[in-house]
């Protein structure tokens, strides 16, 4: 039996999300979050000129996605999710790294996001990519009023 650590990473590609992916986005979203975004919210981001919507595709289907909006001079990570079967295989990392490539030179103030303090694996991922905690939004999450940790990545750290 081979060592799982010696196996090659799974193959997937990153491409822009389209309306035809909405069913798959919704499916991953509902399984990933206690208070999922609506189809309308995703559709709205897909058409915004100030947004970047990327999908990771593997084995002929959507396996993860990233939704980011530009606000004045910073990019705000709005939503990132990976299908449970593909988690911890570099999908979210690759989506965020692709974001940094696509936005090079356009993120004067950098990148920001909110994350639940109760999600240490997400916080660890963001920290590995250069994000740092810079504040808290009290009672941010509507489902349980959990605070949100505000994280920033400076543009010169890309």
pLDDT digits (tens, 9 = 90+) for 60-69: 899 999 999 9
Q: Residue 61: which H helix or E strand, with range?
A: strand 61-71
Torsion sign over Cα 120, 138, 65, 104: negative
pLDDT at 120: 94
In the predicted structure, residue 25 carries a pLDDT above the cut 80: yes
For 131, phi then psi, to 5°, come to -75, 145
d(CA 146, CA 135): 14
pTM of this structure = 0.88
Distances (CA, A) of 4 to 10, 84, 89, 90: 12, 18, 12, 15
d(CA 68, CA 48): 10
How many C-beta atoms surround the C-beta of residue 133 within 10 A? 14
12-157: CATH, from 3.40.630.30, 3.30.60.50, 3.30.1490.20, 3.40.50.1000? 3.40.630.30
Q: What would the mean pLDDT of 49-71 be, rounded to a whole number? A: 95
In the predicted structure, residue 158 carries a pLDDT above the cut 80: no
């Amino acid at each position: 039996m081979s060592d799982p650590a010696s196996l090659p990473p799974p193959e997937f590609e990153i491409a822009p999300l389209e309306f035809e992916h909405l069913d798959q986005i919704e499916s991953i979203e509902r399984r990933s979050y206690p208070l999922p975004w609506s189809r309308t919210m995703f559709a709205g981001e897909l058409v915004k000129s100030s947004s970047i919507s990327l999908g990771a595709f593997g084995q002929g289907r959507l396996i993860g996605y990233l939704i980011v909006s530009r606000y004045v001079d910073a990019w705000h990570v709005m939503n990132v999710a990976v299908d449970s079967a593909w988690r911890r295989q570099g999908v979210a990392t690759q989506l965020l790294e692709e974001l940094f490539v696509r936005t090079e030179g356009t993120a004067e103030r950098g990148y920001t996001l909110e994350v639940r303090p109760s999600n240490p694996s997400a916080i660890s991922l963001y920290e590995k990519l250069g994000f740092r905690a810079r504040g808290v939004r009290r009672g941010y999450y509507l489902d349980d009023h959990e605070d949100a940790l505000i994280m920033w990545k400076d543009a010169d750290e890309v």
